[in-house]
Chain A
């Protein structure tokens, strides 16, 4: 459970990192107390507090899976009317850079997929919690393993198993293609290998296995409430949507071709 914040927990230092990014009325700070650092998010509106509520639920779900008890809670959350404040322990680590595409990030994506397979449970209904922004920008790697941060789009029983990991794969692919219409042989090889890693032991079920990119795009479009303001601002906040229909069919065919082999 998230612990409440107390006034005696005053920081030694506070720094504004992000001010209402992507049109969300959420403020992000880095807070230092002694040797410890925390990521603090605050909001003073009903909409912003709704986002932080989701983030707190996401963190709670994740830490129960990733850092099971007796590990102490890594987050603290306090809400008073429309005012909310969430603090999560600051995690130092390396990140991939999604703009570089699949090849240079293949090792990070591989680790992220393995982490996804370990943490995300499979269910009979094939509906699992959704991170909603499972991007290389939100995944940290350090000596203690892989850590997923930024749970603002969390949705319980949100989508089919594999959604977040596939989103990561396709977002990184799109960023690396930089407007090209066709995949390079290297991209095709990496895409097939990473997809296979995720699907190992029949992880993926149903349409998301047969037409993964098409299914991901359709899912986002039919669940716009999960992403809200991001979709209102511009499509490129969810770059997966920018694949054309022809590219989508091509990519799904490439993946299916390999799976069938």
Chain B
């Protein structure tokens, strides 16, 4: 498949808006920024380069979006430069741009139009002419006739069961009644089936997500998706009750263990899965270690002395891989 054919398909199937972004009739919103904040940022883009606008309006996001550390995991894909890729939930393009710089073509899909507007500005500024952007609901994502070689699902799977508007600052730890239909796992599995169906035979999926059984969850760390403690490690029903009690909504941002994630991917039709342990997390990884590694040479990443000692004991001495904080899975169709 060539990138031109995928681009042609996009042009034939979807309307292009004034910003040059394809639209598939989506109304969902998911962002770390509130709608008002996003509006301000997009307004600033009219007179300033993307990075400068971000630095002025939301300086805390600069490192999140631009840090070169974010792309370290892409090496696991062993890219040749000839690939066509789809970045699901691409947001501001932390991986879209690095991927575009290394491959033939990238389609970035996101359900928040404002995030794509920012990313569009970035692609124009960085001269990435090989990127197309599609605003679509990830849960009812189109199946494409022209398939990709690589799919990216980076910090997205756990949010798939959500719908409507999620303004993260108003969502984290805040009480808000929300209704959901169906099991979170079913939504996630359906999404992964669609991801797989958009890949060529032999295509690869890069999936990054927090580990349900990360050791710090047992120590009372807050779930980064809802600010509740212990929800990830509790049985799902108990986590649901806890969430209803504290946040007035069910617990749907399901995370998985290494084994559970592998099972989910196989059920979604992937033929093989290679799992990796990530330290300190998948967003800014300092160590990425194959699950099959014996960890004899594991060297804890810098942090507090206590954390280093704990990680050394858990991983180097006791080799409790299943307690790693984040997971990267490379699944093949």
Residues in A lying within 8 Å of B, measured CB to CB = 7, 10-11, 13-20, 25, 27, 29, 40, 42, 44-45, 80, 83
Contact = CB atoms under 8 A, between A and B. Distances in A.
29 contacts: A7-B80, A10-B78, A11-B78, A13-B290, A14-B76, A14-B78, A15-B288, A15-B289, A15-B290, A15-B293, A16-B72, A16-B73, A16-B285, A16-B286, A16-B287, A16-B288, A16-B289, A18-B286, A19-B69, A19-B72, A20-B72, A25-B68, A27-B75, A40-B75, A44-B71, A44-B98, A44-B102, A80-B81, A83-B101
A98 to B, nearest CB: 16
Interface in B60-97: 68-69, 71-73, 75-76, 78, 80-81
Contacts of A13: 290, 292-293
A74 B68 CA distance: 28
Which of the four size classes fits the interface of chain B?
20 to 34
B232 to A, nearest CB: 24
Contacts of A19: 69, 72, 284-286
B287 A17 contact: yes
A78 to B, nearest CB: 11
Given A25-B68, A44-B98, A45-B68, A16 B75 contact: yes
Contacts of A20: 68-69, 72
Nearest to A82: B101
Interface in B267-299: 284-290, 292-293
Q: What 6 pairs across the A-B complex have the smallest Cβ distances? A: A16-B288, A19-B72, A25-B68, A19-B69, A13-B290, A27-B72
Contacts, number: 47
A40 B76 CA distance: 12
B47 to A, nearest CB: 27
B interface: dominant SS: mixed
A10 to B, nearest CB: 6
A20 B68 CA distance: 7
Nearest to B101: A44
A40 B72 CA distance: 12
Contacts of B288: 15-16
A154 to B, nearest CB: 23
A45 B285 CA distance: 19
B150 to A, nearest CB: 15
Given A13-B293, A19-B285, A20-B68, A83 B73 contact: no
A84 to B, nearest CB: 12
Contacts of B98: 44
Contacts of B284: 19
Given A14-B76, A15-B288, A40-B75, 20 more contacts: A7-B80, A10-B78, A11-B78, A13-B290, A13-B292, A15-B287, A15-B289, A15-B290, A16-B73, A16-B287, A16-B288, A17-B287, A19-B284, A19-B285, A19-B286, A25-B68, A27-B75, A44-B101, A44-B102, A83-B101
Nearest to B293: A15
Nearest to A27: B72
A12 to B, nearest CB: 9
Contacts of B78: 10-11, 14
B102 A83 contact: yes
A222 B75 CA distance: 37
Contacts of A25: 68
Contacts of B293: 13, 15
A85 B151 CA distance: 23
B98 to A, nearest CB: 7
**A11, A14, A16, A45, most chain B CB atoms within 10 A:** A16
Nearest to B277: A15
